[in-house]
Amino acid sequence: MKLCIAEKPSVAKDIAQVLGAKTRNNGYFEGNGYFVSWTYGHLCGLKEPQEYTDKWKKWSLDTLPMIPAKFSIKVKGDSGVQKQFNVIKSLVERCDEVINCGDAGQEGELIQRWVLTQAKCKKPLKRLWISSLTEEAIKEGFQNLQDGSKYDNLYAAGASRAIGDWLLGMNATRLFTLRFAKKGQVLSIGRVQTPTLAMIVKRQLEIDNFVSTKYWELKTKYRGVLFSSTKGKITEKEKGEQWIAKIREEEFEIISYTQKEGKEHPPRLFDLTSLQVESNKKLGLSAEETLNTIQSLYEKKLVTYPRVDTTYLSDDIYPKIPDILNKLTHYSRFTQALRGKPLPKSKKVFDNKKVTDHHAIIPTGVTPSGISPQEQKVYDMITRRFIAVFYPDCIVSNTTVMGRVSDVDFKATGRQILEKGWRVVFEDDKNKGGEENDKKEQLMPTFEKGEKGEHQPQLQEKDTRPPAYYTEATLLRAMETAGKQVDDDELRELMKENGIGRPSTRANIIETILKRNYIKKEKKRIVATQTGIQLISLINNELLKSAELTGQWERKLREIERGNYKVEDFKKELFEMVNTIVHEVKHQPVQLMPTICPKCNKGTMLRGKTAWGCSEWKNGCKFILPFEFKGIKLSSRDMENLIETGISQNRYRFGKSKELKYIELTKRLKLKIKED
């Protein structure tokens, strides 16, 4: 018997149907020489600190750093998990061969290998590696099973990542909590979450500290076209007015008029990050919502494997493209134009060297049925992109006109679409609000060099603007490029090696720091809370908060995956880093986290003569909390607990007679926060 282990029951069911394992048992399918079982994601994980030694039970600076002599895994304590693991373990003992059918990526490999390790599997191991869950793809995958050892480096990279996260997370969280947190507070530090938070905080402080200044721009309108002076920003209004007075009575002269034909290539196919970016811009979906949606579409066999970091297809996909296009019957108005002619094979689409574990996300050709409106919108984005890459380039005319008044030069630019090309595919797209290439530019009449005429000069007053807040779209891009601002697609591809986090984990990272109240969302904007700002201010070690350094760490994990970097060397670096951080922070001056004002979430609570008040009172926050309420005197700890949790740990010291008054106080406080 052969044992197939999938990552989810639904996937196991699809595989069992293809293999003919039709008998359903408790925790597995059986038939035709196969057992088909499943995990529920992570059945196993690294042991907790206290499971290595009793001395790590208590949070104490004296026990840091915690570096196990050997890392060990365990089956998670949930009864359902334990039951399913025991099913797999018994099937491992009964089978002759194991086929790893887990998610075809680093995390999927880690999940399966940990389960097999814990089950003490010594049986021959094969690997199913597929990019979609269609019947055709599953059959093809089983015809081309790989030896399990081929993916040993992938497993090694996943295990190294988990160990790195454990070492840094466990040690740094205890370290900063013990040194800087108030009683009952935990300061969570993570390998990816902390540099991500640091990027958000840096941007927040740039915005908060920004001082706007006025400037002026000299412009003039000639024949309905607005021209801008090449002088750029004018910092003194008087100078601008002098220029206006100088050119007002003079004629405007065209000194050059050039038109150049250009090409706009179709937008690239989606990887997970670009899909999350586009879904956030067009549909307002969070990164996590997009990930859940595309995962659902994958499990419904409508799209290929989603957790990918490439926008390219491998050459072996090319012969399959016509069949996929033909099956997209709902898009026949677009695919009809591609039939009966050879499809282009552009290097911007097909490149084996740019394909990693999987190719870009594309539709499978299966017709959607019974999917949610949100799933339909995401599916539509993927399908239109897929069709568009086989369309011709969009041909545009780029116009540049130079003019002059007296000795002041002016410039105007415009663009016209001559041949729509791939843009036809998006013309009836109801969700094209985020289309990057839809920037409106003024249409140009035909000018002749040397022509002159009247014009209407104007001096436009403007204010300098602070940097834009991160949105999930721009934050995902920043994580992908380790904080560097990169607009060019090809350069962005090269920088993915040094991005922080993986495409499949970035959504979870954003959600984690959101749940820990280090950031908050205001519509699409991501705003750092005062707690997040204070936490980053306490971290002096650049290794903990630098996106660039964390990106270098990510690159080493990829090198382990390729077999070019040793796991032991990576661990050695980790141990040295953790030791350094612990030593530095232990000798850092103590600075307890302040209590943040619950009303404005910007100021900190300060002790006055009769009450605690917000430090932002000069800026309009009038929140105060009296020292005494109906005979109950509040200590600093009471104030902190009330504001941060709504429940004081010292409530019972008031005695039963004052219990109702205390409850009344907490209700009054919450009402005050809500209404002030």
Residue 305 CB contacts under 8 Å (≥ 6 apart), including other chains: 103, 104, 105, 130, 131, 132, 298, 358, 361
Q: Is 305 a catalytic residue?
A: yes
H helix intervals, 300-446: 321-327, 332-335, 373-388
Tell me how far apart the alpha carbons of residues 597 and 529 are, in angstroms, rounded to a whole number.
11
**Global confidence as pTM:** 0.84
Q: Please tell me the predicted confidence (pLDDT) of residue 281.
A: 93
Q: Convert the pLDDT of each residue in 358-393 to its tens digit.
A: 999 999 999 999 999 999 999 999 999 999 999 999
C-alpha to C-alpha distances, 161 to 136, 307, 340, 496, 552, nearest whole angstrom: 34, 17, 49, 17, 13
**The token pair that represents 652 in the structure block:** 């019972």
Tell me how far apart the alpha carbons of residues 48 and 613 are, in angstroms, rounded to a whole number.
41
**The token pair that represents 461 in the structure block:** 């007053």
In CATH, which superfamily holds the domain spanning 272-388?
Topoisomerase I, domain 4 (1.10.290.10)
Nearest CA to 8 among 205, 419, 300, 356? 300
- Report the relative pairing of strands 2-6 and 34-38 from DSSP bridges: parallel
Catalytic hit among 34, 305, 469, 470: 305
**The token pair that represents 373 in the structure block:** 């409106």
H helix intervals, 45-151: 79-94, 106-118, 135-143
Tell me how far apart the alpha carbons of residues 531 and 207 are, in angstroms, rounded to a whole number.
17
Spans of all domains in the chain: 2-144, 161-209+469-586, 214-266+394-463, 272-388, 605-675
Residue 250 CB contacts under 8 Å (≥ 6 apart), including other chains: 405, 406
Q: In the chain, which stretches have pLDDT less than 70? A: 431-442, 485-495, 629-632, 637, 641-676
Q: Please tell me the predicted confidence (pLDDT) of residue 258.
A: 94
Residue 634 CB contacts under 8 Å (≥ 6 apart), including other chains: 625, 626, 627, 628, 642
Tell me how far apart the alpha carbons of residues 630 and 184 are, in angstroms, rounded to a whole number.
27
Residue 336 CB contacts under 8 Å (≥ 6 apart), including other chains: none
Tell me how far apart the alpha carbons of residues 604 and 583 are, in angstroms, rounded to a whole number.
29
Helix (H) or strand (E) holding 177: helix 152-180
Tell me how far apart the alpha carbons of residues 129 and 137 are, in angstroms, rounded to a whole number.
10
User: Is the Cβ–Cβ distance between 132 and 35 less than 8 Å?
Assistant: no
Tell me how far apart the alpha carbons of residues 564 and 561 are, in angstroms, rounded to a whole number.
8
User: 214-266+394-463 maps to which CATH number?
Assistant: 2.70.20.10
User: Is the Cβ–Cβ distance between 110 and 155 less than 8 Å?
Assistant: yes
Rounded CA Rg of the chain: 31
Give every strand in the sheet of 605-607, ordered side by side. Answer: 605-607, 611-614, 624-626
Q: Count CA atoms closer than 13 A to 337's CA, side-chain side.
A: 13
> CB 295: neighbour CB atoms within 10 A?
18
| Domain 2-144 grouped into CATH 3.40.50.140 | yes
Query: At which residue do the structure tokens 């929140």 appear?
Result: 623
Q: Please tell me the predicted confidence (pLDDT) of residue 51.
A: 97
**The token pair that represents 106 in the structure block:** 């680093």
User: 161-209+469-586 maps to which CATH number?
Assistant: 1.10.460.10
